[in-house]
Amino acid sequence: MLFGTVGLKIIPGLYTGQPLSWLDALFTSTSAVCVTGLIVVDTATHFTLRGQAFILLLIQLGGLGIITFTSLIIVALGRRLSLRQESVSMSTVDIAPHVEPRHLLRNVVLFTFSIELIGALVLYVSWVPKHGFSGAVWPAVFHSVSAFCNAGFSTNTDSLMGDQRNPFVLYTTMTLIVLGGIGFLTLQELYLFRKAKKQDQRFRLSLHSRIVLVTTGVLIVGGAGVFLPLEWTQTLGNMNVFDKFNNAMFMSVTARTAGFNSIDYGQATIGSNFFTILLMSIGGSPGSTAGGLKTTTLAIIALMAWSRFRGHAATSVAGRSIPAETIQRAIGLFAIVFTLVTIAVFAISVSAPVMGGNTLFLSYMFEVVSAFNTVGLSMGITSQLTGIDRLLLVALMFIGRVGPLVLAAALTRTRNSRGFRYAHEDVMVG
């Protein structure tokens, strides 16, 4: 973030007009590194090609993560990982014992650049009729990287609203978003599953990957099923049935972490915007470029509630029981994230400008949730925020990007037992 902020101020040739202020440079850098996508200036018109390339570099670095890069460099040099790095990479062993940590680290970069390359080629072919053979190159590369990293930055002033009737662009972008949001561990397992199937060998996906894939599928289809009737006569009103379905699917996918938009959320119904807030809060999956509470956290809490409702002591799914420690971490993560977001919504509501006697509460709540969960969608008020509000969003983007990781590590950490416990005394709930 610091590198990006200083770079946006001192590197020449980044702007078409006046350079960003220090505050706006910090905001833009944070949004790029934390792969959020909120902007205070139009990326398409305010930055030159060099400026957009610098932002794309920040997005790529933020998407892959510093730990991944340093671990890969050490492995490439033929050195052993440090104890701290080894413990981080080996955390996948308990979840998927058949995945080699060193192979996973190597494939992070392999998967990333391969998927981004394929996505760029498909987008290039889709945009040649619109931009020409040479003009389609940069938008294709930029949007492919931005989509896979779930960043939401665009070289178009209206994001992808100009392509809302182009299914190739919409579904390519959706595919990139989903692949970037399901996590590298799941991508590695899918690769091993496909490899084993070709060799007629058995391969069992871990419970983690199965929960990720099922939850992601349910959220995408279920989200589209909610958006379609809510926006049928609103933002989707001037489209045919096929385009309405495609854009409802796009709204469902992008809402959880990507930040691209094919419709104007400032013109969407209140129900759609509130449902978008719920999807943004869920986010993507662990070990991915996505933010949010994570799909597995939602699934574990839902499975625990269903098990308790049926009177079962253990939380089980697919013939496996989820450890009680994992359930406690999920509940703890949910409670702390909910508290932080609630405090942030209250803070920005207090400092928000009053318009016509009422604050635009839903817009500010939308903005806060989008920033904290590193989504990047907006109802169009980002550039109107005060300096204090922008600093609050900077803090939210940073906490939303690194906070859940630190919190998860803290909740996972083994604590020393005090050798005793206090006497039990029950408390009534419900």
pLDDT tens profile 220-277: 999 999 999 999 999 999 999 999 999 999 999 999 889 899 999 999 999 999 999 9
Does residue 224 fall inside a structural domain? yes
Does residue 422 fall inside a structural domain? no
* pTM (two decimals): 0.90
- Distance of alpha carbon 383 from alpha carbon 375, whole angstroms: 16
The 10s digit of each residue's pLDDT in 275-301 is: 999 999 999 988 788 888 899 999 999
Does residue 427 fall inside a structural domain? no
Q: What pLDDT, on the 0 to 100 scale, is given for residue 291?
A: 84
119-146 b/e (C-beta count within 10 Å ≥ 16 → b): bbebbbebbeeeeeeeebbbbbbbbbbb
> What's the domain count of the chain?
1
Domain range for 277: 2-412
Does residue 421 fall inside a structural domain? no
Neighbours of 331 (CB within 10 A): 15
User: Could you tell me which residue, 343 or 88, shows the higher pLDDT?
Assistant: 343
Is 74's pLDDT higher than 50? no
- Distance of alpha carbon 395 from alpha carbon 6, whole angstroms: 18
Does residue 280 fall inside a structural domain? yes
- Distance of alpha carbon 427 from alpha carbon 118, whole angstroms: 56
- The confidence band for 313, taking pLDDT boundaries of 50, 70 and 90, is confident
Does residue 244 fall inside a structural domain? yes
Does residue 78 fall inside a structural domain? yes
Q: Which pair of tokens denotes residue 181? A: 């949001």
Residues contacting residue 282 through CB under 8 Å, at least 6 positions apart = 219, 256, 292, 293, 294, 295, 298
Does residue 238 fall inside a structural domain? yes
